[in-house]
A and B are shown apart, each in its own frame.
Chain A
């Protein structure tokens, strides 16, 4: 990617004192450079985590143990989850925030540029530690990304300390990133950029950043307790010493459920930017979108125990969490209705970003429906910890979060590189992804309803045909993403020159600066009408 930006240095109106080569990237405090690094890092992690998914699907292709040992299989499911959540989806959103938020609110850079550099550069080390732990005797973490105690304490391998350390670093990185986003949005908005004029991507990210600050420290706390329980003789989660293993789940999901929204709220912002652009019609209910996002964020603190219905809780507790969870469907519905109403009587075109956004709306909604089904406590007893849940959260996270990130990449790529991407190749990427992702995840609903538990390396014969089918879908989806890399490389190297406006219907400050966006933008704040 470095070639891209250096190509266009002569375009700059400013004279930039930036070092060349690796030093530029190590020392950079420029939000665009840091954004690029986050995005490239997320892409690399997406492929590493994806490779692990391929191992999982290869083992599950047929019943019986073929390629890996059960213990290694558990490490794959665990690290796949950790990498995709903390290494791919979250850094990708942070990268988009870095690139776009200053340009969208008319700020020259992020408010705390040096901290910004730090928050990125500690991240590769976190994942290096996590990946290296796989090569320790006894292997890496094998207790699922949810690391339930006491499986992660008394019964885990010695690499658990590395896992804890790595999660701490990821947490610090996210918290610093979130602080930066909030300070930038609070202090650096251009004159006239009032709260209710901010683009929805900025709004959703602001709320996400608050969620991050509220819950990432709780995650840091719970991994610390795991560490002290395992190595220093405390008994937070050990019944023998007066602790309670269920307490772990309460603390974890107090973090975990808002975390789910951390991974989807920015996606709402992206789709809310793309749909009006390609429908050439303003977003139907801007204010109600803002309120819906806020209420989803608030409700996310009241629903954590819906992950724990089978742990044994009083009926009153189960009912409370069931009702609150069902309630979340209301603001989520408001969002989907808004997008559809935005399309209604617009003049739509279907470039790749719009295609991914449309797929997002349909497939995320399917994930939302299965989420609503999971909220019904008695039915959850049958769905819980089966492939139905796996199908649910992959619909929400892959065809939800990941599709929105891909849509955002296509949408803003011309702004970043100054070139249009290859539309034909992009359409290929879209259709291959759309078909294969559904081959991959849709049958998981059936397998789960039929009774296949999740996180198992081997299964009963009745599930064999469906799993073979799912695995083929998985390999195809993995391969389809190679087209994406091809598109990105091709677009970075050259292509049809992009205008400042890029998309006919696009609105917002980022489309007022030239394409590619100069190294420094909005040194003097723009005037907002």
Chain B
């Protein structure tokens, strides 16, 4: 009696287990989906190639830089200028000033977000301080560079791109794992 139910029962149980796995598979799938569509304004977590395409001098794009330390992060953190007008294809460098006013070493991680989300697909970072965690001893300050260009393929409806960085204090995670397991965007 029970024997004839076994194949179907096993199949269904395996389906349930597979769906449990699928729940976790949604995490990387979501990232792929974000990369394809620019959902949620995520930018690539790795460097883009420096060989920029042709410079499109026929139009200009305004880049707005928003930088905010998270409220648990004591650093002062701001861009050198708050906006920049660029031609698509031009490579630019933007410096961010970071200052650690406390008396202890703090590790920071900047999390980028681009709005409108779809524009994230056309915003390429050649070099960025957000690719790695940044250490800063107490009382010190530093300049953190971002090298970027806007893809000339940027659709014309985007005239302004806002790049936001939220800076988090990840000292605890850094100490726990010696900066191995919590690299962002992997």
Contact = CB atoms under 8 A, between A and B. Distances in A.
Interface of A: 111-112, 175, 178-179, 182-183, 186-187, 213-222, 225, 233, 235-236, 239-242, 244, 246-247, 250-251, 254-255, 312-314, 316-317
Contacts of B111: 239-240, 242
B19 A233 contact: no
Contact of A217 (B4, B5, B23): B23
Interchain residue pairs A-B with the least CB separation, the first 8: A221-B23, A242-B184, A240-B168, A217-B20, A217-B19, A218-B23, A179-B12, A242-B185
A111 B9 CA distance: 10
B8 A241 contact: no
Contacts of B23: 217-222, 225, 251, 255
Contact of B42 (A216, A233, A244): A244
Interface in B1-50: 2, 4-5, 8-9, 12-13, 15-24, 26-27, 30, 34, 37-42, 45
Contacts of A187: 4-5, 8
Contacts of B17: 217
A254 B26 contact: yes
Contacts of A222: 23
Interface string B160-177: 000000101110010011
Interface string B175-186: 011000111111
B102 interface: no
Contact of A213 (B5, B12, B118, B169): B12
Interface of B: 2, 4-5, 8-9, 12-13, 15-24, 26-27, 30, 34, 37-42, 45, 70, 109, 111, 116-118, 166, 168-170, 173, 176-177, 181-186
Contact of B117 (A217, A219, A314): A314
A239 B168 contact: yes
Contact of A214 (B19, B27, B34, B166): B19
A112 B4 CA distance: 11
A312 B26 CA distance: 19
Contact of A314 (B26, B38, B109): B38
26 contacts: A111-B9, A112-B2, A183-B5, A183-B8, A217-B23, A221-B23, A222-B23, A225-B23, A239-B111, A239-B168, A240-B109, A240-B169, A240-B184, A242-B45, A242-B182, A242-B184, A244-B34, A246-B40, A247-B26, A247-B27, A247-B30, A312-B41, A313-B39, A313-B117, A314-B39, A314-B116
A175 B21 CA distance: 15
A175 B118 contact: no
Contacts of B169: 240
A241 B110 CA distance: 10
A218 B18 CA distance: 9
How would you classify the secondary structure of chain A's contact residues: helix, strand, loop or mixed? helix
Contacts of A313: 39-40, 117
A151 B160 CA distance: 32
A356 B19 CA distance: 36
A408 B21 CA distance: 36
A314 B118 contact: yes
Contacts of B173: 233, 240-241
A179 B186 contact: no
Given A187-B5, A217-B20, A244-B40, 19 more contacts: A112-B5, A179-B9, A213-B16, A215-B19, A217-B19, A220-B23, A221-B20, A233-B181, A239-B111, A239-B166, A240-B170, A241-B170, A241-B184, A246-B40, A247-B30, A313-B39, A313-B40, A314-B37, A314-B39
A182 B8 contact: yes
B179 to A, nearest CB: 12
Contact of B16 (A175, A236, A251): A175
Contacts of A246: 40
B134 to A, nearest CB: 13
A112 B9 contact: yes
A103 B129 CA distance: 67
A436 to B, nearest CB: 40
Contacts of B18: 217
A242 B24 contact: no
Given A236-B27, A312-B117, A217 B13 contact: no
Contacts of A255: 23
